[in-house]
Chain A
Amino acid sequence: MKKLSIVFLVSAVSTFWFAGCSKEPLNHLTAEETRIYVTNYDSVANFSAYKTYSIADSVAVIDNGQHSRALSASDQAYIDAVNKYMQQRGYVLTTANASPDLGLTVNRIYNTATSVVTYNDYYDTYYGSYWDPYYWGYGGYGYYVPYGYSVYQVTEGAVSVDMLDLKNAKSTGKIGLVWNGLVRGEGIFAESNANAQVKALFDQSSYLKANN
């Protein structure tokens, strides 16, 4: 019987050890791998028909619906990168009052979600094993929580680059958004990453090309 117990114990421990080796996907991503680059375009837009563009000299910061303008080193790096890749595609930079065909903006977007942690959930005697009162040397005691919950917030950010059709604004009576690039993930607001993020957006948008 003792031999049987040892066999059972060894096999159970070893098999459940393997089960405990599940791979958590988020723990196996580098900061670069966490990032996603999303591009959208207007299918009726003819990107080769645009020649000139202008870009806003600061960045719109959209924080839970509140708008402001900013120009940090990272913001400037994004604007510089957009200029670089627009010009590589043959578009010519001009000023906003020189009737550019395209208008470009860079935007920082923050969304803050609020959640609640309920203390009663893990100090309730039903969940007592979470922090069993024995741990404190008071086995058999119950917890008393005079307040029920606490609020915490998680903020998630994104950088977007928007391309607006100014060339056809008068004829259509509206300023159409013809292209949008969005970057999400770790480290996107770092100045050193700006060029690579914008390059990735342009790399997957081969249709962005002026016909000079």
Chain B
Amino acid sequence: MHIFSAILFAAITFSAQAQNQGKAILSLGYNYSLPTGAFKSDLISNGSARGFTGDLMFTINHKWSVGLGFGFQDYYQKYPRAIYPTGNHEETSAVLSNSIQALPVIAKGTFMPLAGKAGLVQPYITAGAGLSFVSFRQYLGAFGNVSSSASFAAQGGAGVIIPFKKNSATGINIGADYNYVRYQHFGYSNLNNLSFHAGVHFPLK
């Protein structure tokens, strides 16, 4: 949590400076997420095509920006009927459904190494940490449990911005992120995932 606090503090500090010095840039995009590791093997193996992502970033200089990332992703999977041990000598035959909604709020920084140089495509790398608000519903047949929590999340990613025209601050943003989401409830360990996003990128002023 110390890392998260430091990044959040840095982002807020830089954001405050940037509001005076730089531009506010909003990215909004469609997000596709692929569960990985224990999330994939224990909870949801399907990719989720139901999500969006957004960043509100403030430029510090022409290469660096800091701000907040946010988003939403809906994961769902129904497993065929199987028999689960549910007690000492109790077994339950059921169709198992897992439904997870994640809303990350991430303090993040972005570095664009080629910013200011001629060229259409601007690559960038990004990293951040924050919280993911997770709603987890698990059903045996029609009978379920609900759990809501806030979990530590960290993110690292890369992508490109393709301006609509030369020197335009508005463009298309395409990228990928790896998301670490610590989730230690009901014996599960994480909701780590790899996400791909595509959307638009434009200054607010």
Show the binding face of A for B, using Cβ within 8 Å: 3-4, 7-8, 10-12, 14-16, 18-19, 21-26, 28-29, 33-43, 184-186, 200, 203-204
Contact = CB atoms under 8 A, between A and B. Distances in A.
Interface in B71-86: 72, 74, 76, 78, 81, 83, 86
Contacts of B54: 15
A14 B52 CA distance: 9
A22 B142 contact: no
Nearest to B81: A33
B23 interface: no
Interface in B49-101: 49-54, 72, 74, 76, 78, 81, 83, 86-95, 97-99, 101
A36 B94 contact: yes
B199 interface: yes
Interface residues of B, number: 42
A23 B44 CA distance: 13
A204 B93 contact: yes
B49 to A, nearest CB: 8
Contacts of A18: 30-31, 49-52
Interface of B: 26, 28-31, 49-54, 72, 74, 76, 78, 81, 83, 86-95, 97-99, 101, 137, 139-144, 170, 199-200, 202
A37 B89 contact: no
B202 A8 contact: yes
Contacts of A34: 95, 141-142
Given A16-B52, A28-B97, A185-B141, A11 B90 contact: no
The 7 closest A-B pairs by CB, nearest first: A15-B52, A34-B142, A36-B141, A23-B76, A25-B97, A22-B74, A37-B93
A33 B87 CA distance: 21
A22 B199 contact: no
Given A25-B97, A33-B81, A184 B141 contact: yes
Contacts, number: 113
Given A12-B28, A23-B76, A25-B137, 17 more contacts: A4-B170, A18-B51, A21-B74, A22-B101, A23-B50, A23-B99, A25-B139, A28-B78, A28-B97, A29-B97, A33-B78, A33-B141, A34-B95, A35-B94, A36-B92, A39-B91, A185-B143
Contacts of A39: 90-92
Nearest to B75: A23
A141 B200 CA distance: 43
B6 to A, nearest CB: 30
Nearest to A12: B28
Contacts of A42: 89
Given A19-B50, A23-B99, A35-B141, A200 B89 contact: no
A7 B28 CA distance: 10
Residue of A40, A41, A203, A204 with highest tally of chain B CB at under 10 A: A40
B117 to A, nearest CB: 25
B96 to A, nearest CB: 10
A31 B71 CA distance: 34
A36 B52 contact: no
B83 A204 contact: yes
Given A34-B142, A185-B141, A40 B29 contact: no
